[in-house]
């Protein structure tokens, strides 16, 4: 990396003189590049190895690990590069961390959906037949009414949420639906646990 930075230093021309704009795109491009490396199971050495270890041992997202490590580095270099450049660097680091998480996790992001309906069997049948997805049926009880209800639980790709909502609205427009982002899935058919990573 250092070699090619040196060899390409005088190639091309500066795209912009706006430091703020350059910071945004620097963070985005670096984040996408590192995200692709992480997504294939690699690292680029240095702090990325620590971020990978934090992901496996502490359960942090890789972007979060990179962000924390890079913040420590930037804070330690304030007296060398100055406050203003440090602030721009923090902006690059933050945008890069978000881009890394989007590339590594966002493309396959899962959501967990809980559905409470007055006609759960009909909702279940429509989802299984039209989306070819399995659901888990949980026994629930209303805290205020005391009535027993079946609660449907399903984990799907984020891209499928629009179709799921459409199906639920067609069957029961008054259904109570909650959607939660899933950060990790462990078990048969899902990602391996940290001890096996």
Closest of 117, 102, 101 to residue 173, by C-alpha: 117
Are 137 and 151 spatial neighbours (Cβ–Cβ below 8 Å)?
yes
pLDDT (tens place) for every residue of the chain, 197 residues total = 788 888 888 887 878 889 999 999 999 999 999 999 888 888 888 888 888 888 888 878 888 889 999 999 999 999 998 999 999 999 999 999 999 988 887 666 788 999 999 899 999 999 999 998 888 999 998 888 888 889 999 998 877 888 999 999 999 989 999 998 886 677 655 554 444 43
Question: What CA–CA distance (Å, rounded) separates 28 from 34?
Answer: 10
Q: What is the pLDDT of residue 193?
A: 42
Angle at 129 between CA 127 and CA 131, to 5 degrees: 55
Q: Which helix (H) or strand (E) holds 139?
A: strand 136-141
Query: What's residue 194's pLDDT?
Result: 40
CA distance 57 to 3: 32
Identify the bridge partners of residue 140 per DSSP, sorted by sequence position.
149
pLDDT of residue 33: 92
Answer whether 0.85 is exceeded by the pTM. Answer: no
State residue 189's pLDDT score. 55
Which domains, from first to last, does the chain contain? 15-107 (no CATH), 109-182 (3.30.70.120)
Angle, alpha carbons 23-29-35 (nearest 5°)? 130
**Minimal CA–CA distance to 76: which of 90, 63, 65, 62?**
90
Distance CA 175, CA 184 (A): 27
Longest dimension (CA), the chain: 73
Tokens for 135, please give them.
Answer: 């659901």
Query: Could you tell me if 119 and 171 are in contact, meaning their C-beta atoms sit under 8 angstroms apart?
Result: yes
Nearest Cα residue to 167 out of 111, 129, 134: 129
So what's the pLDDT on residue 102? 87
Give CA–CA dist 154/132, Å, rounded.
12
Distance CA 70, CA 73 (A): 5
> How far apart (Å, rounded) are the C-alpha atoms in residues 149 and 32?
45
User: Which pLDDT does position 195 carry in this prediction?
Assistant: 40
Query: Are 147 and 166 contacting, i.e. CB atoms less than 8 angstroms apart?
Result: no
- Give pLDDT, residue 183: 67
């Amino acid at each position: 990396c250092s070699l090619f930075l040196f060899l390409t230093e005088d190639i091309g021309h500066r795209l912009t003189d706006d430091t703020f704009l350059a910071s945004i795109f620097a963070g985005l491009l670096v984040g996408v590049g590192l995200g692709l490396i992480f997504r294939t199971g690699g690292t680029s050495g240095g702090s990325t190895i620590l971020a990978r270890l934090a992901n496996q041992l502490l359960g942090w997202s890789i972007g979060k690990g990179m962000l924390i490590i890079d913040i420590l580095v930037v804070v330690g270099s304030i007296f060398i590069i100055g406050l203003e450049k440090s602030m721009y660097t923090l902006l690059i680091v933050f945008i890069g961390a978000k881009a890394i998480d989007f590339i590594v996790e966002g493309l396959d992001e899962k959501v967990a959906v809980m559905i409470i309906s007055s006609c759960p069997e009909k909702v279940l049948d429509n989802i299984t037949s039209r989306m070819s997805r399995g659901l888990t049926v949980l026994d629930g009880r209303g805290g205020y009414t005391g009535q027993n209800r079946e609660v449907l639980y399903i984990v799907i790709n984020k891209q499928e949420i629009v179709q799921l909502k459409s199906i639920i609205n067609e069957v029961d427009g008054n259904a109570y639906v909650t959607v939660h982002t899933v950060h990790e899935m462990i078990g048969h058919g899902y990602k391996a646990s940290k001890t096996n990573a």
